[in-house]
Amino acid sequence: MSCKTLPAALLIGVSALLISSPAHADEDESVFSLNAAGAGFSIPDHSALGGVLGVDYEYGLTDLIWLRASGGGGAFYDSTAEAPAYAGYGEVGITYVLDVLRFVPHVDLGLGGIVMHGEDIEDPVQPLVSLGAGVDFLTSRSRSFGAFVRFESYLSRSAFFQLGVRASWRWGFF
């Protein structure tokens, strides 16, 4: 960044912070989200792309730490297979939320499992560890929408990846 653009960038950044209204997260707040994501998985002898629909429920233990339960399912297409593969997953974990402005960044960590069905899938049930990140935009105190990315590993040579959007409904914030 050049010396000429630095003052303009600082002015824009400070203005954005001053204009943004606080979100004021509270403990005991709940969030229910519907997700749609492009996804892919890779297991030995298979790599497939597809889509996933999912749900998340989050409950605020504090204004920063939330419990999270997540689940969903999708269809995947592998160019070497004659039929699509299907997968369903479920997990529980924690979410770190920086809920201070209308843009709410979050990072989550979870444990769970995935069940897969498809041509030549030898181990259809796998444990998983997930790491995700995203940002939500609060349109009101009770609604938001956002984007997320989540990487899940089956604790072996396998991986599951999601890049998607979510719509959320919030309650219990008073």
Residues 141-173 have pLDDT tens digits of 899 999 999 999 876 677 899 999 999 999 986
Beta-carbon contacts of 124 under 8 Å, excluding residues fewer than 6 positions away, are 115, 116, 117
Domains of the chain, by residue range, sit at 23-171
Q: What region, left, alpha or beta, does residue 173 occupy, with left being phi > 0 and alpha being psi -120 to 50 degrees?
A: alpha
> Who wins on pLDDT, 9 or 169?
169
How far apart, in whole angstroms, are the C-alpha atoms of residue 49 and residue 39? Answer: 6
Strands (E), the chain: 30-43, 46-60, 65-77, 85-97, 103-117, 125-138, 143-153, 159-171
Residue 20's pLDDT band, with cuts at 50, 70 and 90, is: very low
CATH number of 23-171: 2.40.160.20
What does the pLDDT read at residue 21?
46
> What pLDDT is stored for residue 119 in this prediction?
82
> pLDDT tens across 23-77, in order?
455 678 999 999 999 999 888 777 899 999 999 999 999 989 999 999 999 999 9
CA-to-CA distance for 36 and 57, rounded, in angstroms?
15
Contact 108, 131 (CB under 8 A): yes
Measured between alpha carbons, how far is residue 117 from residues 3, 5, 21, 62 in Å? 57, 54, 46, 39
Q: How many residues does the chain have?
A: 174
Contact 67, 92 (CB under 8 A): yes
pTM above 0.75, yes or no: yes
Reported confidence tier of residue 11, pLDDT bands at 50, 70, 90: low
